[in-house]
Structure 1
């Protein structure tokens, strides 16, 4: 297990607990009471830390190297029923954007999302979860296929942004994302969107127009990352914590602004501490959202979706 800076007190207590248990196993000394005291202190410390996280600390948790990525969620939700589909039928298959058919709770879904890598080799292979235009066009192709066969869509967002390279712009990155947003608004099947990690900029919005939008508790959703915001405003990354607070990018902030529908709770410490519980909770929210949407007519579904997004940004002084 890797630990973030603010998790070091937890690491110290877990190391103490492990040593205490080893002493008890290797000697005749009764250490039950000591182990119990350490464990109680460990639980209190975890609650104290994780219930009072800053915006920047939640950003760090969303990027935790042990956190489940999109394909982990897909395997946890669908098991062996997932069939990945490839290519945009125009340029090539973008490895940063995955998609395919799978069953969740016995119901077929078209599942689409950004995939990051686990090490240097796979991060390069997945382009760090930053999709090119062909990735968004593949996503749109799969959504149109789902619409044709009346299959609901689930999108899982985890990206630091769309790929900003010259070749991506040459192939129409902006147009591809804008086209997806336009087409998703008018898609004739239910769309359930979940931010499972980072939700940054147009890279997230390109598959982020949903009838139900949920955020896992320790994720973020914003027009820009805290580091990029800091570098633009203060010409340095040193103010990233201040930028994270100002951007109001946490799940609680987004729910307060009515930009997402609900927050999916995570196990104490984050999704990586108990993956199975996280997958089951995500499944519950997907099925709950689908059951609410499947009773709507196509006209009502699209009308509610358009109304949902046209109301965003309204405020009174």
Structure 2
């Protein structure tokens, strides 16, 4: 295995990225298969662009730690159930939701050897793929390419989609149970969580759920109108969605026009008066919730966008350290290095 960390290796649960060991990679290309890496995150080093060249350095830096080159080489057997359907026909499974978790569940069911299964996927929206379609930023087309894996799953015999069907309105849970052997609920929160703070409902105060759904063309949010006439926008929180919004608000409109951003959002952003975007976070930059790739994406915008960090230190000395944070390849260390640059 040339990709690390693997699920049985230390640090996997907290890894933001996986790394390819140059000492064991033989350029076989197996890792670029659509089912192995559905988001096209693996590219040859000679194909890196100026905006992505930093990833080669990060990958090499990961293996500077000698412990990273002494992996256990144990073969892990994958257990498969022996179910082969019911005595009266195939196992019928209903999946509520059609986003990534639903599609991966359907993929697992339909690729299990010896399992005679029929999968019915229900979604209240007229189009499938959930957050991949309506949550991923429009300029993250590589991430959205995960739908190719879902499309291959959808083409398999025994997979049926029922779109525009809302459970609780058009069908009840009991009706699903009557016609299926099992029901899987693979749905997320449909709305944002209210904070219950003064001023939350003032004009100009909006949730990320509404804004992201708006620029992605989600049917529940497409008719929203946002006032973008102010020169400054403030984003509370510093996770990946916060950086996505900051990037969309500051990115060149001509670049956004080459994405699948909703037409109404593109038109509104073309007339936007926003010139400053302030991201306010409780944590210091090194321990913020955003991942290293998102930070690099924001830092890699055109030269017309100036990125500044207002923090005494990228690595807050008051943050309780842990053993994982001290390693040279930890997410906190990488974030601190990038921010300090």
* TM-score grouping bracket, smaller chain normalisation: under 0.3
TM-score between both structures, scaled by the size of structure 1? 0.24
Bigger Rg, structure 1 or 2: 2
Q: Which has the higher helix share?
A: 1
TM-score between both structures, scaled by the size of structure 2? 0.23
